[in-house]
Structures are given as C-alpha cells and as structure tokens.
C-alpha cells in the first residue's frame, strides 16, 4: 500500500499537475479539522510530534491552522534533514512565530506530552518496515504511557500499512485521519487496535489517477464497503425461476443444522428456489425444519436442475471421493465451505478451472495450505492471496476482518462484522447467502463481495438489538432482511 500511495502521489503531481505542497496543504487542513473536533475548546494545548517525512509536513500545516485559530500549540521536530515540501511548511511556522523545538531530550518530550490535551502523531507514516527502535521507540512509549488523546496522521507510527503488523511498539491513537485511500493496516489486526476511529479524507488526488492505477493492475488492496457491489432491482414481471435454483449439498448425522441454516440464509437473500441434498437417513429431519425449501437425497441430487451449488455444510468426514466427484461433475458456479473444504484438503488445487468460491476459517485454510493456524493468523493477507492463486478460486478467509482474495492478487478487506459472528453456524449462513446470490446470476466476484458484506452487516444489526454475546447464527438469518433494506438496491 505504501508503494501504491507513492505512485498515486506521483501521478497527481507529475501527470495531473497538482503540486505536492498543495496535497500536503489539503492533508494538513484535514488534520487540523480533526484535531479541533477532538478538543473540547480552543483553550486546549496541542503537541505535534513531527518526523522527517511528509507526515511531519502534514503536522506543520495542521499546526499553522490551529495556531491561526488561537489554539496553543507546540511542534517538536524529532528528526534532522527536513527537506522538500515539509521544509517549506516548517520554515513558514518559524516565520510565523509558532513554538517549534528541535530534537529535545526524552525528559523534555515527556513533560510536553504530559501537559498536552491532544498529541498529534506525525512521526513515521506508511514507510515503516520492521520494528521501531531507538529514539522513536522511546517517544512512542512516552505517548502511550501518558494516556493522552492521540490523533495519528495517515497511520499510527509503528503500524505497518500493508499488513497491520506491529513488530515492536506503535502509537495507540484515539483517532486516525488517513488520506485518499484507506491503508489496510488500519483495518487488519493488530493494527486496527491501534488506529481508533478511522477518518478517510479527500486531499484532491484525482479520481482518474485512482482509476488509472486500477486499470494498470497496480491497485490490489481494497476496502469492502456498502457501495462496492450493487444488486439490480427486481423486474415487476419476474417469477421464482428468474432468481435461480440453489442446491445446498451437505449434512450428516448430528450436523443437519448446518444445511438448514444455509438454506434459510439463501432464501432470505432472494434466491427463487432452494433444495437441500442430504443423506437419505437425514432427509426427514431436514424437511421438518424447512417450509420454503425442498429436500432430496444425495443419490438424487444430479436429477435436479440447479444454477449454483453450495457444497459442504455439515457433511462430516470421509467424503473426499464424493466431494471431488461432485466438483468435477458440475459446470455451474459453486461455493465450497466447511467439510467440503476439509474433503478437498491439500488437493484443493484440483478445483482450478471451476467458477468457485472457497470460504475457509483459519483452521480450514491451514489444512488446505499444510501450515499451522498460527502461520495463517500471522499473515492472513499472504495466505488468502496464495490460496486464491494456487486454486484459481476466490478465497474468503473468515475472521476479523474477513478477507476476499482473488487469483489475480486483489484483496478486499470487509468493513462489517463483529465478535458476535464468532459462533457455530455463522459460516453456514455465509455459504447460503453467497450460494443464493450465485444462483440469481451474480458473478462469482460480486457474489463473494456482496455476500461477505451483507453477512457482516446482518451480524452488526443483530448485535445492536441482541448484543454480541447472545448473537447466534439463526439471528444472522433473521436480520438479513434489515441488512438488505439498509442499502439502496
């Protein structure tokens, strides 16, 4: 993401003629606006911590705006060799008589921080690789120990912009103001714990520059929000056949609930018809819980004409041959989850060439990739991308936050969801939503993105009413109507 942002800046400056000092002015003005919002009054005392790069330059601009509005400010320049646009804005501060102090000792910095009502972090920015050490590490510890309100510029110092990793220490911000594009490190853990409230500000990077980067395939990291995918309005003369037929294939003794949840979620997501294919011994149980859905046995699934397949919920163990037989035999789009994934195992690359979406949790992805769960959690973006590349499928790595990875390397970070979704059956609901969207004719790209977003949104709406602790998978299904209605479809 750091490289992508630098390329965006270059395009804006060199191709569109927007001077870098103008971009810095816009960024600094946005920082000042957020700082004022965080202060209870203009009587507050704001300490700016400025490093060597553009983050320091943004801090200088923000300090100028606050100073002009009568706010008491002090700028601590904690690096040498300030140059370029940052130097221009630093020199302006000095000419204006803004209190600026260079390279103070730790005890003097501690005193200023402890006096402040607000600390603005302009130390390091998006270029951090590895652990912050030495002087800056000491300063960051002082800030965190002070328990003062902190506004971070672009990303809290010490958080890696691409991954959210914190190798050593990092600023704990109450709010982070970022520019142009969201940095994934603000949304991926542990970085998300350091960012606080996130505000994304427009600093006049041309939209065409962002489009150009996308067209060149150089913008690979995206935030999944409410406007990412649109679902077409329904025609007045449509009928149930218009919205497809989903087959949910799964279930086994003691695990029929997974299939039932998936079917109910698909129905709540607008599919025309749903059939649950389950072992003959479980068919009566499943049928007794489905009013709107149909059932058939495993032996009869291939007699049904369906537009999409959801494979795996509650299938149990020892079904690898059956799963591969199904996958290799169908030509429709499919979503594979749970025991379907476990059945594929490290041979999951055999699905290459299929229109497929895989929806593993970290444990399932670890089994697919032949690594430890700990390794998956330490670099979720890498493993989601790698699994997508190897299989040619879209990979939805469930978790906090959920990631949607594409074979070409694009990764989307979901902005909905909460810890209440960490409950048995939640993944089966997601499978049903995605399967229902596939059956309606959405592309696998749109079905994956929209399904993940709506699943999390339903969980968010449910948690407002029921709380995160009491939220169960069936509640997610029941809140799907409100999730669908909350967006302008």
Mean pLDDT across the chain:
94
The rounded distance, in Å, linking the Cα atoms of 413 and 360 is: 15
Return residue ranges of the chain for CATH 3.40.50.10260.
Answer: 19-203
Inter-residue contact 58 to 28 (CB < 8 Å)? yes
In this structure, of 198-207, 223-232, 289-298, the range with the lowest mean pLDDT score is 223-232
What pLDDT sits at residue 487?
65
The rounded distance, in Å, linking the Cα atoms of 325 and 420 is: 36
What pLDDT sits at residue 68?
96
Inter-residue contact 155 to 184 (CB < 8 Å)? no
What pLDDT sits at residue 2?
64
* 19-203 CATH, one of 3.40.50.300, 3.10.520.10, 3.40.50.10260, 1.10.150.120: 3.40.50.10260
What pLDDT sits at residue 171?
97
CA 31 to mean position of chain CA atoms: 24
The rounded distance, in Å, linking the Cα atoms of 31 and 28 is: 5
What pLDDT sits at residue 470?
97
- Three-state SS at 281: helix
| DSSP line for 93-107 | HHHHT--EEES--HH
Spatial CB neighbours of 291, under 8 Å, sequence gap ≥ 6: none
In this structure, of 64-78, 121-135, 309-323, the range with the lowest mean pLDDT score is 121-135
What pLDDT sits at residue 254?
95
Query: What is the percent of the chain with per-residue pLDDT over 90, rounded to a whole number?
Result: 83
Tens-place pLDDT, residues 246-273: 999 999 999 999 999 999 999 999 999 9
Q: Give φ, ψ of 274 to 5 degrees.
A: -135, 135
CATH code assigned to 240-485: 3.40.1190.20
Inter-residue contact 345 to 353 (CB < 8 Å)? no
Radius of gyration over alpha carbons of the chain, in Å?
26
What pLDDT sits at residue 489?
44
Tens-place pLDDT, residues 196-205: 999 999 998 8
Beta bridge partners of 153: 177
**Residue 431 pLDDT more than 80?**
yes
In this structure, of 113-117, 149-153, 214-218, 279-283, the range with the lowest mean pLDDT score is 214-218
Beta bridge partners of 101: 76
Return residue ranges of the chain for CATH 3.40.1190.20.
Answer: 240-485
Q: Residue holding tokens 């992805």?
A: 365
Q: Give φ, ψ of 76 to 5 degrees.
A: -105, 110
Tens-place pLDDT, residues 383-413: 999 999 999 999 999 999 999 999 999 999 9
């Amino acid at each position: 993401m750091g490289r992508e942002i630098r390329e965006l800046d270059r395009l804006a400056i060199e191709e569109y003629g927007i001077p870098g000092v103008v971009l810095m002015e816009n960024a600094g003005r946005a920082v000042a606006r957020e700082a004022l919002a965080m202060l209870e009054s203009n009587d507050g005392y704001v300490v700016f911590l400025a490093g060597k790069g553009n983050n320091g330059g943004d801090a200088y601009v923000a300090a100028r705006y606050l100073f002009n509005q009568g706010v008491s400010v002090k700028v601590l320049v904690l690096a040498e060799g300030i140059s370029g646009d940052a130097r221009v804005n630093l020199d302006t501060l000095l000419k204006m008589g803004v209190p600026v102090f260079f390279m103070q000792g730790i005890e003097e910095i501690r005193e200023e921080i402890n006096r402040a009502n607000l600390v603005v972090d302009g130390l390091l920015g998006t270029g951090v690789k590895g652990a912050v050490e030495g002087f800056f590490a000491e300063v960051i510890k002082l800030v965190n120990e002070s328990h003062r309100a902190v506004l971070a510029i672009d990303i809290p110092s010490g958080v890696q912009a691409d991954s959210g990793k914190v190798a050593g220490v990092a600023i704990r911000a109450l709010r982070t103001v970022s520019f142009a594009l969201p940095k994934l490190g603000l949304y991926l853990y542990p970085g998300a714990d350091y960012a606080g409230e996130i505000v994304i500000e427009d600093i006049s990077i041309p939209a065409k520059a962002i489009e150009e980067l996308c067209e060149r395939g150089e913008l690979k990291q995206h935030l999944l929000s409410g406007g990412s995918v649109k679902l077409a309005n329904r025609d007045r003369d449509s009928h149930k056949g218009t919205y497809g037929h989903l087959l949910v294939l799964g279930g086994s003794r003691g695990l029929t609930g997974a299939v039932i949840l998936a079917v109910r979620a698909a129905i709540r997501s607008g599919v025309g018809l749903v059939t649950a294919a389950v072992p003959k011994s479980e068919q009566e149980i499943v049928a007794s819980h489905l009013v709107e859905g149909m059932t058939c046995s495993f032996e009869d699934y291939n007699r049904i004409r369906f537009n999409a397949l959801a494979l795996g919920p509650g299938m149990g163990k020892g079904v690898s041959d059956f799963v591969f037989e199904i996958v290799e035999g169908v030509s429709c789009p499919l979503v594979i989850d749970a025991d379907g994934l476990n059945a594929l195992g490290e041979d999951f690359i055999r699905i290459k060439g299929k229109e497929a979406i895989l929806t593993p949790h970290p444990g399932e992805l670890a089994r697919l990739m032949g690594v430890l769960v700990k390794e998956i959690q330490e670099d979720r973006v890498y493993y989601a991308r790698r699994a997508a590349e190897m299989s040619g499928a879209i990979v939805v790595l469930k978790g906090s936050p959920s990631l949607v990875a594409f074979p070409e390397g694009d990764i989307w970070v979901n902005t909905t969801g909460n810890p209440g979704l960490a409950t048995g059956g939640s993944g089966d609901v997601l499978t049903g939503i995605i399967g229902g969207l596939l059956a309606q004719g959405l592309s696998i790209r749109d079905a994956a993105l929209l399904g993940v977003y709506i699943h999390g949104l339903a969980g968010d709406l449910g948690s407002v009413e029921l709380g995160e602790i009491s939220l169960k998978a069936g509640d997610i299904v029941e809140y799907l109507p409100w999730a669908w209605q909350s967006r302008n479809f």
